[in-house]
Amino acid sequence: MPGEGLIISPECDANINDVLAMGCWTPVAKTSINADAQWNAQLINSDGSRFNVLMDNQEQGCVEWSLTGEHNVYNALSAIVAAKHVGILPKDAITALGQFKNVKRRMEVIANINGVTIYDDFAHHPTAIQTTLDGLRKQVEQERIIAIVEPRSNTMRLGVHTKTLAESLGNADMAIIYQPEAMGWDLGELKKYAGNIEICSSLDEIINKLKFEARYGGHFVLMSNGSFGGIYQRLQDELN
């Protein structure tokens, strides 16, 4: 990093803090949520859809947008800080964020069918799954959430994240995990760490289970960094 650059870092991230402690010659801007870093977000809505932005305890404005989850709040803070570093006033960056439309496959609502909201989310590791479901839970409160996960990343397929994957699904009322034939480990091991997990070995099995659960309404979150066998359209067709 050049000396005239800027490192933007969440104050609570112990791993990044350890790296910076090894030696850093570039200015660092720390961010936080409901804390006291130089740049802080004070949540108005617990799901992260509305929050005040403070710099050195001075309020800069309020972000109101469609995104949820603390990870997106940190992303917003980082964008505001980076913009200020190149001469854009925080109030202007905050206004721009209020007009931001999320990219495809990031908790994208793809259908609302008979009381069921279907989301497409490009979740590919436990941290992303946990933060995404946490944001949704805070948004919908007691409404039912069903997470449907296709483990596709190398670490997920090798079973590296067994315990952390199970725990990342804690905010779902039910978590359905797809286990294709080529999977390198028995996903049934996940049930040792969580009681809300069900394993399905085919897309037909998943579809049938979701058709049954759809009678009770709720939020179906399809989580994969791939095509998930075309389940997105198949599920909509079946529920219609």
Structure tokens at 234: 């198949």
Do the Cβ atoms of 192 and 125 come closer than 8 Å?
no
Delineate the domains of the chain, giving CATH numbers in brackets: 7-98 (3.40.1190.10), 108-239 (3.90.190.20)
Token match 């449907």: residue? 148
Structure tokens at 144: 């039912």
Average pLDDT value for the chain: 92
Alpha carbon separation from 138 to 65, 131, 169, 171 (Å, rounded): 15, 11, 14, 9
pLDDT tens digit sequence for 193-227: 999 999 999 999 999 999 999 999 999 999 998 88
Q: How far apart are CA 150 and CA 190, in angstroms?
A: 14
pLDDT at 154 over 70: no
Nearby residues of 87 by Cβ (< 8 Å), 6 or more positions away: none
pLDDT tens digit sequence for 16-31: 999 999 998 899 999 9
